[in-house]
Amino acid sequence: MAALTAGTKAPDFSLAALDGSKFSLQDALQRGTVFAAFFKVSCPVCQYAFPYFERVYKAHGAAKVTFVGISQDNPRDTKAFLKEFGVTFRTLLDDPNGYAVSNAYGLTNVPTWFLIGADGTIEMSSVGWAKADVEELNRKLSDAEQSAPRPLFQAGEEVQDFRAG
């Protein structure tokens, strides 16, 4: 369970994106919900989970949801991770010298992700890989779009139910 749980006010933050632009949670929330997933490139569970997060992004990224990855690594290693695991959503850099945003969210493990409502309240939080949480995220985003949930997992694909972060 994440240190910050559903119902908690999400700490505001601003970070540099990998492309050099600036990201502000406050600005993103004005456009709608934010999905924020924290990771470390050397984390095997992050390597497992992020291609599935990319599928959620492909299914819902055009909606009023801003997707961001938040890397705890340097730009070079982060770019290599994104390329290797096919991640195309915007990625931010949490300074590895202090991890200010990771600490503000109470992270103890990665991956950890949060779905933050437009009002700034955390609607969902998850640590590690939990297939049921990702399926619930997909349902919640589909409900917000007033559409049927899109399939995230392919027929015959073996997807683990849980992996600790």
All domains in the chain, ordered by first residue: 27-147 (3.40.30.10)
SS3 of residue 5 by DSSP: coil
Give the model's pLDDT for residue 22. 97
Q: Three-state SS across 44-101?
A: HHHHHHHHHHHHHHHHHCCCCEEEEEEECCCHHHHHHHHHHHCCCCCEEECCCCCCHH
Give the model's pLDDT for residue 104. 97
Return d(Cα 90, Cα 113) in angstroms, integer. Answer: 14
Give the model's pLDDT for residue 1. 46
Please state the pTM of the whole predicted model: 0.96
Give the model's pLDDT for residue 6. 94
pLDDT digits (tens, 9 = 90+) for 49-93: 999 999 999 999 877 899 999 999 999 999 999 999 999 999 999
- Which stretches of the chain drop beneath a pLDDT of 70? 1-2
Give the model's pLDDT for residue 27. 97
Beta bridge partners of 43: none
